[in-house]
Each structure stands twice: as structure tokens, then as C-alpha cells.
Amino acid sequence: MLESILLTIATAATPLLLAALGELVVERSGVLNLGVEGMMIMGAVGGFAGMILTGNPFIGVLVGVALGVALSLLFGFLVLTLATNQYATGLALTIFGLGLSGLLGESFIGRSSVRMPVLNIPGLSDLPVIGRLLFGQDIIFYLSILIVIGVTWFLFSTRQGLKLRAIGDNPQSAHALGIKVLRYRYLAVMFGGACAGLAGAHLSLVYTPQWTENMTAGRGWIALALVVFASWRPFRVLAGAYFFGAVSIGQLHAQALGLGIPSQLLSALPYLATILVLVIISQNRRLTLINTPASLGKSFVPDR
């Protein structure tokens, strides 16, 4: 029973972790992309369609990532090249992604899927409790952990990461020092799109191996909240993603136990928890401002 619960928590947390990590890098560059939900849903439909059309879930993952990047490039062109409002553009991207995914995925509704294969190490995978949790997961789970480590190393141990954080704090000064601000921001936005697309592919190939319209169910918004919850720190994102994953799975088990609580209220628990956490964090203004990129959400046009 415990092993099953831990496995479902890890599966529920992985797409949140991936999407939030991508958005963290985007926001560290000073760009706020509210279109995470739209990129995730496009990754979900792309992952499922790629798997159905080729029979290979790994190709499905690549298609999901590609669609996430494509949508992020559209966002990048609008907010970085044309300097449109980041808030309005991100919201429009979410609406566009939700609508387009419904159109593209209409013919795939009700189709059966091949679940992403999992790792199986004889002896290790059979260990009680931790065996399947650590040595019996799908490749996207392990990739999400590697991305946490990689993002932490990149942001805090490399010159490029230092430049990215400098851009997020003061793009004018970074530009004056010869740093290619728009290039770094474009790459950050593309990385965020790739992570969101990968998160969406995980939803349709691992979490619930099928396609249903609006299957992201607000996870992109939770990922955005996770970045603030983690105060822009990758390992805090990891902890936050598993916390919200546990809340999501907890409400399902509560429904199964028949506690007499309305199912609608239980289904709303992850989102209520998100609001509660943000309210608590907002009370500590100093903590919020410590790692917040100073130019977050502000457009930058060279030589203006």
C-alpha cells in the first residue's frame, strides 16, 4: 500500500516539477511566461499523437517537446522581438494552446495508448518500498531529477548561469557589458517550452496514457505558483512539486475511502493548497524579494 502511494505521488509530481523547472529558468532571465498551461497541453497532445502514429512512445516524447518549443518560440517572438506585454501574451498563449490542442486531438479521443516503459533492474527493482520507487520508474522521472541537478549547476556554477541571472536583474547593465540579452532570453524561453512540452508528454504517456481535452487541468498554473513557492531555487521546486503531488494523490485516496466530504471539494484541494501557500509566502515580503529577478515581466529593447 505504501509503495503504491509513493509511486503515484512521484508520477503526479513529475510533470509539475518539469514545468516549474522550465519556468524557473525563464523567470531567472527576467521573462514571465504565463503560457505554461498552453505549452503543457500541446506537449500532451503531441506526445500522444506521436505515439499513436508511430507506435513509439519515445518519438511521442520528442514530438511533445518539439510542440512545446514551437509555442515558446511564438511567445518569444512576440515578447522579445516585438516587445509585447508579457502578461497578456502569456495568457493568450494558454488560450491558444488549449484551443489548438482540442482541435488537433479530436481524432485521438478514446484511442488506447502504449505506456512509457519503465526501468527494471533485477534485484534492485524488487526491493521492498524503495525498489520500484527508485529503480522501476519511467525515463522521464529520472530525466526530471537530472534536470534539477543540471539547472542548479548551470545557474550557480557557470559563467553563463551568472550572465542569465544578471540579465534577469538588470538587462540594461548586462547589455552595456556586451552580453547578448535577447539571445539568452530566447534560449531560456525555449528551454522552458521544452520542459513544459516534456511535462505534457508525461501526462499523456505515463500519468494517464490517453488523450482527453484539457487534461492538464490547471497544472501549468500550479507550476507557476511553484516557482514563487520555491523562491526561484531548483531544489525547493523539487520539494514543492512532491508536496503538491502528495496533495493531489491524497485527495484521490480520500475519495476512495468515502470520508463523506464532497468530491468537488476534494478535487479542489491542490488548488486550495496553492492559494494557501502563496498567501503564506506573501506575508514575508523580504523572503519573496531575496531571489525575485528585479526585471521580471519587464520588456527589454536594445539601445532604447
pLDDT band of residue 253 (cuts 50, 70, 90) is low
CA–CA dist 218, 138 (Å, integer): 23
Q: Is the pLDDT of residue 287 over 70?
A: no
Helices marked H in the chain: 2-28, 36-54, 57-76, 86-104, 130-135, 139-157, 159-169, 171-176, 181-202, 219-229, 234-257, 263-267, 269-282, 285-291
CA–CA dist 105, 44 (Å, integer): 9
Set of cell numbers at residue 214: 484539457
Give me the pLDDT at residue 63, please. Answer: 97
Burial pattern 159-194, b for ≥16 Cβ within 10 A else e, equals eebebbbbbbbbbeebbeeebebbebbbbbbbbbbb
Q: Going from the N-terminus, what domains does the chain have, and what CATH number goes with each?
A: 2-291 (1.10.3470)
Q: Is the pLDDT of residue 25 over 70?
A: yes
Set of cell numbers at residue 102: 482540442
Give me the pLDDT at residue 38, please. Answer: 97
Give me the pLDDT at residue 304, please. Answer: 56
pLDDT band of residue 273 (cuts 50, 70, 90) is confident
pLDDT in tens, 122-140: 777 777 777 777 888 899 9
Q: Which of 1-5, 189-193, 279-283 has the highest mean pLDDT?
A: 189-193
The pTM score is: 0.92
Q: Is residue 97 a contact partner of residue 39, using CB atoms and an 8 Å limit? A: yes
pLDDT in tens, 97-108: 999 999 999 999
Burial of 221 (0-12, 13-18, 19+ CB in 10 A): middle
Q: Is the pLDDT of residue 24 over 70?
A: yes
Give me the pLDDT at residue 5, please. Answer: 81
CA–CA dist 12, 35 (Å, integer): 20
pLDDT in tens, 174-192: 999 999 999 999 999 999 9
Q: Is residue 222 a contact partner of residue 277, using CB atoms and an 8 Å limit? A: no
pLDDT in tens, 81-96: 999 999 999 999 999 9
CA–CA dist 35, 99 (Å, integer): 13
Rounded to an integer, the average pLDDT of 222-238 is 91
Give me the pLDDT at residue 279, please. Answer: 76
Q: Is residue 19 a contact partner of residue 256, using CB atoms and an 8 Å limit? A: no
Give me the pLDDT at residue 280, please. Answer: 75
pLDDT in tens, 39-74: 999 999 999 999 999 989 999 999 999 999 999 999
Tell me which of 30-34, 51-55, 240-244, 259-263 is least confident. 259-263
Name, in order, each residue with C-beta under 8 angstroms of 272's C-beta and a sequence gap of 6 or more. Answer: none
